Structure 1
Amino acid sequence: MSQLSRLISILTLLRSKRLLTATELANKFNVSIRTIYRDIRKLEEAGIPVTTIEGRGYSLMEGYHISPVQFTEKQANALITAQHLVNQTQDVSFIEDFKEALIKIKSVFRSSIQEKSELLDSKIHIFDANHENLTSNALSEIQLAITNFNYIEINYCKANDTQSSFRKIEPYAFYSTNHKWILMAWCHLRHDYRAFRIDRIEHFKILHDKFEDRKFNLQTYFQSCPYDK
């Protein structure tokens, strides 16, 4: 990451939280604390009113940024709650992308709403009695493949199967059930539509080759051929 990109990211983080330490920033960007000190000085030299609270960290001067987009407290609470639900999906890529998006959104919260949203965040707990220790890290890439009509090659392992099978698929849609993401795709091995649990995709590769849209509709598919686990 270039210094300019890091400075913009630091400013975004400072807008999204009331207080950040040099250690937190150094760990976030995988740089030294000395580098963070230099970055803070760069922001100050650029006229950004960064306030140093001795022994506690950095914050932005109150009222520095007033965005034309304003969130109500209830809207902010909905986003904080959504983050906890997103974390239940157990897809690393999706969770990380939502987290980064939320940081940018929180950067425009008023300070009073930031404070209350942080309080609410600590008060939300989600328990899953049917927890299954399987995670994935493919959802964000698969979303791009769906919207750009790219073929995907996968190694897929069915439930209660010890060996995976190679598939070339056309991704069309996905849905969530029991905290699991299911991908609907045209499977070239089976010459038909198939449902794939994303957390059972062991390896995947997004191809540059594009497929021709078959006009798949998830609702129509379920009406004619309901998915049976």
Structure 2
Amino acid sequence: MNKTDRLLAIVLELQRKNVVRAEDLADTFETSVRTIYRDMQALSEAGVPVVGAPGSGYSLMEGYFLPPVSFSVEEAVTLLIGTDLVEQAFDPTYGARAKASQRKLEALLSEPVRQESARVRSAFRLLDTCENTIQGQVLAYMETLRQAILSHQKVRFRYQKSHPGHDGRRESVRDVAPYGLVLARGSWVLLAHCDLRQDIRNFRLSRMSGLTVLADSFTPPDQFQLASYKPQDDRHLLVRIRVNSTIADKVKESNNFFIETMEEHPVGTLVTLRVRQLEEILSWVLGWGAQVVVIEPQSLRDRIREEAEKMLQHY
């Protein structure tokens, strides 16, 4: 980044935030703090009202605003594809706003940039960005949950989940304090504090039913930050399987959450997974049929044999 581009980017960064330290600007633009000091001096000499407070950082004088800047083709394409994703993957309210934002952005572009960005976008197409069940009920739940998160209102829903040692799925009623929504591997997940478990839990929207907003309000914990939150990893059960090389690519493309490593060997591809319980991958392993062999643990080998015998009885 040359000096002119960096000076413009610094002004935009100051405009976006109230106060910014020289050290943070140096990290952002990958330069030295001394260079940032010189940049601030250059901006002041150019008439930009930069205010420096020792020990705090730099800010712009109140009321100063840099007019909109032009977008490059790459920047315009990035933003327009972003609106396409929001329109497709979010609830109807934000979908409509994404469409409106797209029209406004296109109106700001010069004719050459607009034509070139349209040409570049024609080479991209978003398909199946979310699971099929995102349509309909799940989209409605997204909007309800988003409003509950912003208003700090608890919600109640019925939740279906597989339990080890039980046939089929079990349903429970959950009252939760919703903290945020996460799009993980094509599925929308609610991160919330569960009254039943007295801890933070993840809930797939596709497994919910009967969602209602409660009158009870909650106060989010001060230390909680959705962007930096990492759930405790309790996947302590190691599983190793051997995959026939003819389907190794398909196994990799399945993007299974529990896969840790895949290693090519003369006898096939060795796949290592870590799970909380065998039920989490039992159906996935069975789905590959004879193309997959479980190496360990023995308990999973036994389960596969039991399921295979049950299947044989049907034929």
TM-score tier by shorter-chain length is 0.5 to 0.7
* Contact preservation (8 Å) 1:94, 1:139: no
1:51-70 to structure 2, matched below 5 A, reads 68-70=68-70
**Cross-structure match for 1:176:** 183
In structure 1, C-alpha distance between the alignment counterparts of 2:215 and 2:130, rounded to whole Å: 36
SS at match of 1:167: strand
Match status 1:212 vs 2:232: no
1:157 aligned counterpart, secondary structure: strand
Any idea what the Cα deviations from partners look like across 1:86-115, whole Å, max 9, x if unmatched? 466475555444333333333322233232
- Which of 181, 194, 197 aligns to 2:201? It is 194
The alpha-carbon deviation at position 75 of structure 1 amounts to: 1.1
SS at match of 1:182: strand
Report what 2:125 is aligned to. Answer: 125
Query: Given the alignment of the two structures, is residue 146 of structure 1 paired with residue 149 of structure 2, yes or no?
Result: yes
Compute the displacement of 1:149 (Å). 1.4
Q: Distance in 2 between matches of 1:147 and 1:171?
A: 9
Which residue matches 1:22? none
Q: State the alpha-carbon separation in 2 of the partners of residues 147 and 131 from structure 1.
A: 23
Q: 2: CA distance between counterparts of 1:141 and 1:154? A: 12
Q: 8 Å contact 1:93–1:139 — kept in the other structure?
A: no
Task: Check whether the contact 1:88–1:179 (CA below 8 A) recurs between aligned residues.
Answer: no
Give the RMSD, CA atoms, in angstroms: 3.6
Per-residue deviation, residues 47-95 of structure 1 (Å, max 9, x unmatched): xxxxxxxxxxxxxxxxxxxx84532222111012324444664755554
Cα deviations by residue, 1:147-190 (Å, 9 ceiling, x for unpaired): 33121222333369667543221111332221222211011233
| Superposition TM-score, scaled by structure 2 size | 0.42
Tell me whether 84-93 or 208-217 shows the greater mean CA deviation: 84-93
**TM-score after normalising by structure 1:** 0.54
Pair 223,193 (structure 1): closer, same or farther in 2 beyond 3 Å = closer
DSSP-derived class of the 2:122 partner: helix
Conserved? CA contact 2:155–2:176, under 8 Å: yes
Deviation at 1:126, TM superposition (A): 4.1
Larger radius of gyration: 2
**What residue is the counterpart of 2:161 in the other structure?**
158
For residues 209 and 89 of structure 1, do their structure 2 counterparts lie closer, same or farther at Cα, with a shift above 3 Å needed?
A: same
Deviations for 1:122-154, whole angstroms, at most 9, x for unmatched residues? Answer: 2213456x9842112133442332233121222
Bigger RCO (CA 8 Å, 6+ sep): 1
Alpha-carbon distance in structure 1 between the residues aligned to 2:97 and 2:151: 18
Q: What SS does structure 1 have at the residue aligned with 2:109?
A: coil
In structure 2, relative to structure 1, the CA distance for the partners of 1:85 and 1:168 (3 Å cut) is same
Distance 1:107 1:152 in 2: 40
Gaps of at least 5 residues in structure 1 are 1-66
Q: Which runs of 5+ in 2 are unaligned?
A: 1-66, 236-274, 281-315
How does 1:97-116 map onto structure 2 within 5 Å? 97-116=97-116
Q: Indicate conservation of the 8 Å contact 2:156/2:214, yes or no.
A: yes
How many equivalent residue pairs? Answer: 162
Percent identical: 25
